[in-house]
Structure formats: C-alpha cells, structure tokens
C-alpha cells in the first residue's frame, strides 16, 4: 500500500509541469511538496540534540541559500536588463549565504570533534 | 530521458541529500558528514540549474559569456561567504547567522522581482487577461502573483529584520536604546494591513509599482517588528528569521515552479519553527509575548527580603578546599561567562580538578548564550569534550549526587523560584536544579538581578556560597589555589 502511495507521490517531484497542467494544479502540486517536506523537516529536526542547535541553525541557513538555483535561472535567461541585474545580485547574496553557512558549520562541527592528539 | 528530466532528477537528488544532511545532525560525528552531504546537494542543484532551458538558450544565443557572468558572481559571493565564515569569532555566531539569514531573504525577494520583470511574466499576465475576457477570472496570473507577493513580502521582512537583529547583537550605538514608542503596535498593524492590501492589489495587475510598494512596506515592518525586542529575547528572533529565510526560498520556488527550492525552503522553515518553539519554552515566554509585549507580570518580591542576612560569601582558599574534597563537580555556565571570555579559564580549572580525580561536567541550559546551543559551541572552542556537555533534562536528576555546582554568569536559569513560587514571573520556566547540589558556588560580581529582573533565592540558600568577583579572575585564582595545595 505504501508503495502505491509513493508511486502516486513521485510525479510531485517533477519540476516542470506537463504542458496541459493548469496553474491551479501547479500551485497545489507545489503546496503538496511544501507540506510533505515541512512534515519531514519536523520529524527529522526534533531528533537533533540541543548541543548541536547552533550548527543546525547555521547549516539550515546554508541550505536556505538554495534560492541561488532560482537566481541562476532568472539571471541566466537574460530577458530584461532589470531581471538580469536582480538575478545577478541574488546570485551574489545567495552564494554568500551558501558558502558562509556551510563553511562556518564545518568549522563549528570540527570543534566538537577534536583531532586525536 | 529529456534534458529537463535529468535536471529534475538532479534536483530530487539534491533534495534527498538535504534531508539526509538534517538527519545526520543528530550526533557530532555524523553531523560533519551531514554538512558535507548538504554542501554536495547544493553543488548538484547549482550545477543542474546551469543546464536549465533559459540558461542554455542564452548560451546558444550569446555564446559562453552569460555562463561566465553567472560563474563570476557566484564565485565572488562564495569567496565573501567563505572568508566571513573562516574569520568570524565564535562569540559572534548569532550576528553572522542573522546577517546570512538577511542575505538569503534578500536573494529570494530578488528572484521573485527578476521573474516579475521578465517577459515570461508579462506574457503570462496578457494570456490571463485574454482568458479572463472569455472566462471570468485572472486565474493563471493569480497563482503566480500570490507566490511573487509572498516571496517579496517574506524576503523583505527577513532582510530588514535580520539587519536590525545584527545591529542589536553587534551592539552598534544606533541600536543601544530599545525602541519603545507607545504606538508601535498600531504602527505594526497599519503596516501589516497596508501590506495585505498591496498583496491583494498585485493579484489584479502586472504593475511593478505595487510590488515595489509591497517590498518597501515589508521592509518597514521588518524594522518595526525587530527593533523593540529586548536583548534576552534575541535567540527567539534569530530562530524566527531563520525560519523566514527558508519560507522565502520556498515562496521563490512557487514563483519559478521549482521543487528543490520548495523542499529545501520548507525544511529550513520547519527547523526554524522548532527552534523558535524550544527557545520560547525554555524562556517561559509565548511567541506573541516576545514579538509584541514586555515581560507581562512584574516582580512583587522584594530583593532585601530574600537576601537580608542570609548571604554567605566565601574566600578563594575556602572554596578551593571545598573543591579539593569534591568527587563530582558540575559547572553551570551562562552567557556572562562568554562575555568575560572565560571559557578557557573554566577549562583550566576543570583540568586541574580532573587531574585530582574529580569528575567534571557542564550543565547547559537551552538559553545559555544568544542563540540555540551557543554555549556548547563556545565551550567546544575551548576544547571541552562534547561528552561533558550535558543538556538540562539529562543532568537535572543527578544534581542531588553532585558535591559542588559552580554557577558562572547564569542567574534566572538557576532560580528555584521558577519551581517553588507559583506567583513568580518565571514560574514554570524549566531551570537547572543546582540548588539540590551539596554545595553551590555562585561566581558573580554583585547581587544584581538577571534579565527577568527578580531576586534569586538560590543566592540566599543555606548550601550556597557567593564568590563576589569577575568571572575570569575568580576562575584563575581558584585554579591557582587548587594547584597550590
């Protein structure tokens, strides 16, 4: 039963709708993905110990920089001057977020795991 | 498989890696791998984005230059981020997280704005308008506009809110005085209502002006919401902004119809919400109370009544003797310890005690520090082993078997009134039960109250010895005294 459920959910991950998909369906498809991921997030993150909550925050911070994907697409499409400018600025800011977040998280986690002397 | 299908598969892989990354955060060893997996997922998603059809079309038309431009901007951003991350001091971690949250929110807002100005948006609106004359609604445009409006709104609030939070945490002079305009709730309400109207307005138009106004109103709201929040409540704000930055990314995902943005964004949104709830619970505050109000009830307990004639202060030699006879010592550090930069001094005292065969552990309250888990990072930086850092619920039952509890720079989180006095403003707040230890040593400069502004009966308890001194100096002197004997 779970397998059929999964099979039904798989098309949700398709990023681009079939040409026939109407906007309301697109919206609901993305909303489904959103709510399911939210739920997975709650399940997984409640298991993180409080001792690691700072690296969790900075690590999740880095992951929120995923908006760089959107920035690359809108900047790369070169449709209008403004669009490209906004997109490039977004790439810059999102990449500061991504690189800063992952590197500082690594730095912190290394401190929790001191090298054997 | 079409090239779009390969790209989607890459996004799916990235999404799964993000989930595994969060999952691996459950222990310090796996967390290192988890973080690297998260970074790998991000690299995969970024690479896949470069093969998206809008980008490849540009490359086909203009050659390699568009791609080059994207890489240059990404490299500059990455370089700035990595440099910040390597140089930033651990005590300033909340500021850095605040700043990065703001950048993330701003990026999501810009993605939505860029998409709005693109020809795709214009054609979508025109098509909607054409259909509307035939049918009855602007439906295709509405779906799109909700997402753009939300991404602009959340992104903008996150940006300015984070910058204000950064300023307050960094203790910039402009933010020293809390903003206590008596009408601020009305100002917030007016801004929120205006934002709602603008959101509603964008559903019926493709005018850039509405979005611009929406961004400006949201920016103002970010400032007015964050400015009045006091220093002690900063951990909640950091968590909330973290959640917002994720939600902004998810909204941007709705705008450009991209599942990896939606998944990663909602994971971060969930993470921030959980941490917000944990922080509120640990501080005995409601989220609405943090956002809109002061502490609520004020103290009715008179400090003189609690302390009069009951305070026992001790000298270094006496305390050193007590420590030498202890089998088990628990150190309770508060943010005052980090301010005094005394983490290394703590570890030196612990080293000396351990060398004598005493077991030493650290009891960490969830709000010790300025963001969730901050104190643990500061102690880890001083090479204190992860296993000795104990969480509140974990260590509380063992206080009765503890010979000496040393409280440094903590106050409200060890106040037994939270447990014993139902009328106390902090009644019900989870605390560390240090008062149950055989002997409690409180290192503190004076009897001044903590953030809650109430006296602490612990200081007057029979088993408590006060050591009035600067935290770092006190620790160094204690260490020296124990070593001498």
Please name the residue of chain A whose CA is at the shortest distance from the CA of residue B367. Answer: A50
How close, in Å, is residue A97 to chain B by CA atoms?
Answer: 5
Enumerate the residues of chain B whose CB falls inside 8 A of the CB of residue A40.
19, 267, 270
CB pair distance less than 8 Å for A66 and B42: yes
Query: What does pLDDT average to over chain B?
Result: 86
Shared domain for B95 and B122, answered yes or no, is yes
Please name the residue of chain A whose CA is at the shortest distance from the CA of residue B275. Answer: A53
* A to B CB pairs, distance under 8 Å: 431
CB pair distance less than 8 Å for B22 and A41: yes
Taking the alpha carbons at both ends of chain A, their separation in whole angstroms is 52
Enumerate the residues of chain B whose CB falls inside 8 A of the CB of residue A85.
114
How close, in Å, is residue A52 to chain B by CA atoms?
Answer: 6
From B260, B292, B324, give the residue that closes a domain.
Answer: B292
Shared domain for A67 and A110, answered yes or no, is yes
Q: Report if residue B477 sits inside a domain.
A: yes
What residues of B are labeled active site? 412
CA A46/CA B121 separation, integer angstroms: 39
Query: Which one is predicted more confidently, A114 or B153?
Result: B153
Shared domain for A39 and A75, answered yes or no, is no
Q: Who among A52, A78, A82 is closest to B31 (CB)?
A: A52
Shared domain for A57 and A32, answered yes or no, is no
What is the pLDDT, as a whole number, of residue B314? 85
Enumerate the residues of chain B whose CB falls inside 8 A of the CB of residue A42.
270, 274
pTM above 0.90, yes or no: no
Query: Do residues B232 and B283 touch, judged by C-beta distance below 8 A?
Result: yes
DSSP state of B313: B
Task: Determine whether B296 is exposed, middle or buried from the number of CB atoms within 10 Å of its CB (0-12, 13-18, 19+).
Answer: exposed
Range of the domain at A73: 50-117
> Over 60: is that where the pLDDT of B268 sits?
yes
> Over 50: is that where the pLDDT of B153 sits?
yes
| Lowest mean pLDDT segment, chosen from B306-320, B391-405, B435-449, B464-478 | B306-320
Shared domain for B339 and B210, answered yes or no, is no
Query: Do residues B251 and A64 touch, judged by C-beta distance below 8 A?
Result: no
**CA dist B149 → A14, B167, B198, B222, B385 (Å):** 24, 27, 9, 16, 47
- Helix axes B259-282 and B3-24, enclosed angle (nearest 10): 20
Shared domain for B321 and B396, answered yes or no, is yes
* Residue range B279-300, pLDDT digits in tens: 888 888 888 777 776 544 455 5
What is the pLDDT, as a whole number, of residue B389? 92
Shared domain for A93 and A59, answered yes or no, is yes
Q: How many C-alpha atoms does B112 have within 13 Å on its Cβ side?
A: 32
Mutate to test the interface with A, among B11, B25, B138 (most CBs of A within 10 A): B25
Shared domain for A16 and A66, answered yes or no, is no
Shared domain for A71 and A117, answered yes or no, is yes
Mutate to test the interface with A, among B110, B259, B367, B430 (most CBs of A within 10 A): B110
* Residue range B19-66, pLDDT digits in tens: 999 999 999 889 999 999 999 999 999 999 999 988 888 888 888 888
Shared domain for B149 and B272, answered yes or no, is yes
Q: Who among A14, A23, A61 is closest to B245 (CB)?
A: A61
Q: Who among A82, A90, A112 is closest to B111 (CB)?
A: A90
What is the pLDDT, as a whole number, of residue B22? 95
Shared domain for B336 and B427, answered yes or no, is yes
Residue with tokens 């959980």: B274
**CA dist B298 → B319, B372, B417 (Å):** 35, 26, 14
* Residue range A9-60, pLDDT digits in tens: 545 544 444 455 677 788 889 999 999 999 999 999 999 999 999 999 999 9
Shared domain for B267 and B120, answered yes or no, is yes
| Lowest mean pLDDT segment, chosen from B65-74, B119-128, B183-192, B275-284 | B119-128
DSSP state of B174: G
Shared domain for B343 and B284, answered yes or no, is no
Shared domain for A43 and A55, answered yes or no, is no
Shared domain for A42 and A22, answered yes or no, is yes
Instruction: Give me the percent of chain B exceeding a pLDDT of 90.
Output: 46
Shared domain for A65 and A104, answered yes or no, is yes
Shared domain for B158 and B217, answered yes or no, is yes
Q: What is the CATH number of the domain that holds B335?
A: 3.40.50.1220
Range of the domain at B246: 88-292
Shared domain for B248 and B307, answered yes or no, is no
What is the pLDDT, as a whole number, of residue A19? 52
Enumerate the residues of chain B whose CB falls inside 8 A of the CB of residue A94.
77, 103-104, 107
**Selection from B284-293, B411-420, B433-442, B452-461 with the highest mean pLDDT:** B433-442
Please name the residue of chain A whose CA is at the shortest distance from the CA of residue B254. Answer: A30
Q: Who among B76, B96, B107 is closest to A68 (CB)?
A: B107
Q: Who among B66, B69, B372 is closest to A50 (CB)?
A: B372
Shared domain for B331 and B183, answered yes or no, is no
Q: Report if residue B416 sits inside a domain.
A: yes
Please name the residue of chain A whose CA is at the shortest distance from the CA of residue B12. Answer: A13
What is the pLDDT, as a whole number, of residue B241? 93
Mean pLDDT, rounded, for B463-484: 89
CB pair distance less than 8 Å for B266 and A100: no
CB pair distance less than 8 Å for A64 and B62: no
Shared domain for A63 and A109, answered yes or no, is yes
CB pair distance less than 8 Å for A59 and B25: yes
CB pair distance less than 8 Å for A99 and B81: yes
Instruction: Give me the percent of chain A exceeding a pLDDT of 70.
Output: 79
Q: Report if residue B24 sits inside a domain.
A: no
Q: Who among A30, A55, A94 is closest to B77 (CB)?
A: A94
Q: Identify the CA nearest to B206 among candidates B108, B120, B116, B112.
A: B116
CB pair distance less than 8 Å for B107 and A65: yes
CB pair distance less than 8 Å for B50 and A97: no
User: What is the number of structural domains in chain A?
Assistant: 2
Mean pLDDT, rounded, for B442-459: 85
What is the pLDDT, as a whole number, of residue B206? 58
User: What is the number of structural domains in chain B?
Assistant: 2
Task: Give one DSSP letter per residue of B212-279, joined into a string.
Answer: HHHHHHHHHHHHHHHTT--GGGHHHHHHHHHHHHHHHHHHHHHHHT-HHHHHHHHHHHHHHHHHHHHH
What is the pLDDT, as a whole number, of residue B173? 81
Task: Give one DSSP letter per residue of B413-480, joined into a string.
Answer: GG-THHHH-TTSTTTT-----GGGSSEEEEEESSS---TT----GGGGSTTEEEEES-HHHHHHHHHH
CB pair distance less than 8 Å for A57 and B371: yes
Shared domain for B156 and B224, answered yes or no, is yes
> Over 80: is that where the pLDDT of A116 sits?
no
Q: Report if residue B378 sits inside a domain.
A: yes
* Residue range B167-199, pLDDT digits in tens: 988 888 877 766 666 777 788 888 888 888 887
Q: Identify the CA nearest to B9 among candidates B39, B45, B36, B40.
A: B45
Shared domain for A65 and A110, answered yes or no, is yes
What is the pLDDT, as a whole number, of residue B127? 63
CB pair distance less than 8 Å for B96 and A41: no
CB pair distance less than 8 Å for B58 and A78: yes
How close, in Å, is residue A105 to chain B by CA atoms?
Answer: 7
Could you tell me which residues come within 8 angstroms of residue A88 by beta carbon, excluding any fewer than 6 positions away?
A: A71, A75, B69, B70, B73
Q: Report if residue B70 sits inside a domain.
A: no
Q: Report if residue B211 sits inside a domain.
A: yes
Shared domain for B389 and B430, answered yes or no, is yes
Could you tell me which residues come within 8 angstroms of residue B454 by beta carbon, excluding any fewer than 6 positions away?
A: B299, B301, B412, B415, B417, B424, B425, B426
Please name the residue of chain B whose CA is at the shortest distance from the CA of residue A27. Answer: B143
Shared domain for A10 and A66, answered yes or no, is no
Confidence of residue B230 (pLDDT cuts 50, 70, 90): confident
Q: Report if residue B431 sits inside a domain.
A: yes
What is the pLDDT, as a whole number, of residue B301? 66
């Amino acid at each position: 039963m779970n397998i059929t459920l999964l099979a039904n959910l798989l098309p949700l991950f398709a990023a681009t709708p079939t040409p026939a998909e109407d906007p309301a369906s697109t919206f609901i498809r993305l909303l489904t993905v959103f709510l399911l991921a939210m739920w997975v997030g709650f399940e997984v993150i409640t298991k993180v110990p409080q001792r690691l909550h700072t690296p969790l925050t900075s690590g999740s911070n880095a992951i929120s920089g995923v908006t760089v994907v959107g920035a690359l697409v809108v900047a790369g499409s070169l449709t209008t001057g403004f669009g490209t400018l906004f997109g490039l600025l977004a790439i810059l800011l999102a990449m500061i977020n991504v690189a800063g977040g992952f590197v500082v998280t690594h730095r912190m986690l290394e401190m929790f795991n001191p090298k054997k002397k | 498989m079409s090239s779009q299908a390969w790209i989607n598969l890459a996004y799916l892989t990235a999404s799964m890696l993000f989930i595994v990354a969060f999952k691996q955060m459950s222990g310090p060893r796996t967390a290192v791998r988890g973080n690297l997996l998260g970074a790998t997922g991000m690299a995969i998603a970024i690479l896949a984005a470069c093969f998206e059809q809008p980008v490849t079309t540009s490359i086909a038309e203009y050659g390699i230059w568009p791609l080059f431009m994207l890489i240059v901007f990404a490299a500059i951003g990455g370089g700035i981020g990595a440099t910040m991350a390597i140089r930033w001091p651990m005590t300033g971690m909340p500021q850095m997280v605040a700043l990065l949250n703001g950048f993330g929110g701003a990026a999501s807002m810009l993605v939505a704005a860029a998409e709005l100005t693109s020809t795709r948006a214009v054609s979508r609106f025109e098509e909607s308008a054409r259909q509307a004359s035939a049918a009855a609604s602007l439906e295709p445009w509405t779906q799109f506009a909700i997402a753009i409006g939300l991404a602009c709104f959340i992104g903008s609030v996150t940006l300015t809110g984070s910058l204000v939070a950064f300023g307050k945490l960094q203790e910039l002079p402009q933010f020293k005085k809390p903003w206590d305009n008596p009408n601020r709730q009305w100002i917030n309400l007016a801004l929120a209502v205006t934002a709602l109207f603008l959101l509603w307005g964008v559903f019926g138009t493709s005018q850039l002006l509405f979005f611009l106004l929406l961004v400006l109103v949201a920016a103002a709201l970010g400032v007015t919401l964050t400015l009045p929040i006091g220093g002690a409540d900063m951990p909640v704000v950091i968590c909330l902004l973290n959640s917002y930055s994720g939600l902004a990314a998810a909204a941007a995902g709705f705008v450009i119809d991209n599942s990896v943005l939606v998944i990663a964004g909602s994971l971060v949104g969930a993470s921030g919400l959980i941490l917000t709830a944990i922080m509120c619970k640990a501080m005995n505050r409601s989220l609405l109370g943090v956002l809109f109000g002061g502490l609520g009830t004020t103290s009715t307990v008179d400090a003189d009544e609690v302390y009069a004639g009951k305070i026992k202060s001790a000298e270094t030699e006496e305390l050193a003797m007590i420590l030498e006879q202890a089998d088990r010592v628990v150190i309770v550090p508060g943010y005052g310890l980090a301010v005094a930069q005394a983490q290394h001094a703590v570890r030196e005292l612990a080293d000396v005690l351990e060398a004598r065969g005493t077991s030493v552990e650290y009891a960490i309250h969830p709000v010790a520090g300025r963001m969730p888990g901050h104190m643990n990072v500061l102690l880890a930086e001083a090479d204190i082993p992860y296993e000795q850092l104990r969480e509140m619920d974990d260590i509380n039952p063992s206080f009765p078997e503890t010979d000496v509890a040393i409280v440094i720079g903590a106050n409200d989180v060890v106040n037994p009134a939270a447990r014993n006095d139902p009328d106390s403003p902090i009644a019900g707040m989870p605390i560390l039960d240090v008062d149950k230890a055989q002997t409690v040593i409180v290192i503190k400069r004076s009897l001044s109250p903590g953030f809650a502004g109430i006296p602490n009966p612990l200081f007057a308890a029979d088993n408590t010895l006060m050591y009035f001194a600067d935290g770092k100096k006190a620790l160094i002197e204690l260490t020296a005294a124990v070593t001498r004997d």
